[in-house]
Amino acid sequence: NAGVTQTPKFQVLKTGQSMTLQCAQDMNHEYMSWYRQDPGMGLRLIHYSVGAGITDQGEVPNGYNVSRSTTEDFPLRLLSAAPSQTSVYFCATSKGGTGNYEQYFGPGTRLTVT
């Protein structure tokens, strides 16, 4: 099993460009999340999904869009990239259910916006 995969691994964008970060999982987990990691700030939740067709905002949703049409995929869209969105982005999944709160992470996408 591949677990959680993310593409691309690295990306450079110019301010104002748009792009989609891909996330796919073969763990059959209902819950999927996107985080960004910035130095000294840990991981902050951008958006999350509790199942196909259901998404909600996290702590830092502005400038990002998500949709979840299948259990396996959870793409993150940057609508108009800004330098403040330079970060490392992680997708994560969790099984859900009482006691199953741990999340499993992809390898990350390192994004630079110039």
Partner 1 sequence: GDSVTQMEGPVTLSEEAFLTINCTYTATGYPSLFWYVQYPGEGLQLLLKATKADDKGSNKGFEATYRKETTSFHLEKGSVQVSDSAVYFCALSDGMTTDSWGKLQFGAGTQVVVTP
The closest alpha carbon to 67, from 79, 81, 85, belongs to 79
Question: What residues between 31 and 90 interact with partner 1 by CB under 8 A?
Answer: 31-33, 35, 40-45, 48-50, 56, 58, 90
For partner 1, which residue of 16, 20, 96, 112 counts as binding (CB under 8 A)?
A: 96
Rounded CA-CA distance 20/75 in Å is: 6
17 vs 67, beta carbon nearer partner 1: 67
Give me the residues that bind partner 1 (CB under 8 A), please. 4, 31-33, 35, 40-45, 48-50, 56, 58, 90, 92, 94, 96-108
